[in-house]
Amino acid sequence: MVHLPDKSILDTIGNTPLVKLQKMSPNPLVDIFVKLESFSPGASIKDRIVKFIIEDAEKTGKLKKGGVIIENTSGNTGAAAAMIAAIKGYRCILTMPDKVSLEKQNALQAFGAEIIICPTSAAPGSKEHYVEKAKEIAAKTPLSFRINQYDNPLNPLAHYLSTGPEIWKQMEGNIDYFVAAASTGGTISGTSRYLKEQDPTIKVIMPDPVGSIFAEYFRTKKIPEGGSCTYFVEGIGEDHLTQAMDFDLVDDVIQVNDSKSFQAARRLAREEGILAGGSSGSNLFACLEIAQKATERTRIVTILPDSGLKYLSKIFDDEWMLKNHLMQ
């Protein structure tokens, strides 16, 4: 009897590969391992949380037949939402800042989503801010369900139940550092909580782009004025605090700028054959900083949140990099 596969694309989310970098570690004592989230069908780590949150919404009756999925996104959560909406037959409306790459915008529309572009410079809480715009649309739309990734406790829980256990198993428990940048905070919070429960000595390091409020808040526990997401790197850092982020799980923050993030991502492609996005470059930059200072055998694990194919018109385009003074 022939047994044909009965899985949908949703069954391929998660269980992504983890590989050791072969060339980029600057210290022979240090091994750097990267988790390739581009292997999920939406080509990013956000597939995990969106699937988890939508399935919970269906079970609890918050999302019903004929419903509309609404979310504010820097692109990857939107891609996951649009993909899953297409499979399940929901309408999908997404708001995003105007710095989101054209590749990301086109992918959302390819899945059939409606997108609304908002100014990146809009202040948090203002009517034109992409988060507030999503709230406004949800309030006016019948049968709407907002994923609410920034403040939804299911966001870090998804990583606690999937990303953390996967990394622990793949590394056979041999981890000294876990490195992950944050925007919603779901990845670093959920994954770190799981890893620290297995081994409290694991150090968690968060790269944060210059301009984000997270680094200063971590150090002072005060919300700085003038925080802005007008830096070029997408999907990390923030101009407001989020309920999905647990700073108590973070041991240190390393600030990083656009140039260092993008140069690390470009090196990753050319030296390791791994095409990943700018936030992956931020994570990798922090790994290299840690590696340079290590004086004993060290294993660092980090996340590569998405594919570099989403940024071909930006960080992998020499002309764009030169125009924005990002080439070294």
Q: Residues 129-159: pLDDT tens digits?
A: 999 999 999 999 999 999 999 999 999 999 9
309, 202: one domain: yes
Any domain includes 108:
yes
Would you give the DSSP letter of residue 201?
T
Q: Which helix (H) or strand (E) holds 29?
A: none
What is the average pLDDT value for the chain, to the nearest integer? 95
pTM: 0.94
97, 119, 146: which is the final residue of a domain? 146
- Half-sphere exposure (Cβ direction) of 165: Cα atoms closer than 13 Å: 9
292, 215: one domain: yes
88, 116, 146: which is the final residue of a domain? 146
Contact 67, 81 (CB under 8 A): no
- 38, two tokens: 């581009």
> How many residues in total does the chain contain?
328
Q: Which residues contact 163 (CB under 8 A, 6 or more apart)?
A: 14, 35, 45, 48, 187, 190, 191, 194, 303
Contact 315, 262 (CB under 8 A): yes
Q: Residues 300-314: pLDDT tens digits?
A: 999 999 999 999 999
Given a cut of 80, whether residue 2 has pLDDT beyond it is no
Q: Residue 51 is part of a domain; what is its CATH number?
A: 3.40.50.1100
User: Which pLDDT score, from 0 to 100, does residue 98 have?
Assistant: 92
135, 200: one domain: no
60, 175: one domain: no
- 108, two tokens: 């959302």
Residue 311: CB atoms within 10 Å: 29
Closest Cα to residue 260, out of 235, 232, 237? 232
Compute the distance between CA of residue 174 and CA of residue 193 in angstroms, rounded to an integer.
16
The distance from CA 30 to its chain's CA centroid, rounded to whole angstroms, is 25
Q: Residues 188-223: pLDDT tens digits?
A: 999 999 999 999 999 999 999 999 999 999 999 999
46 is catalytic: yes
Q: Residues 152-191: pLDDT tens digits?
A: 999 999 999 999 999 999 999 999 999 999 999 999 999 9
Residue 84 belongs to domain spanning? 46-146
Contact 83, 41 (CB under 8 A): yes
Mean pLDDT (whole number) for 93-101: 92
Choose, from 46, 104, 310, 314, the residue flagged as catalytic. 46
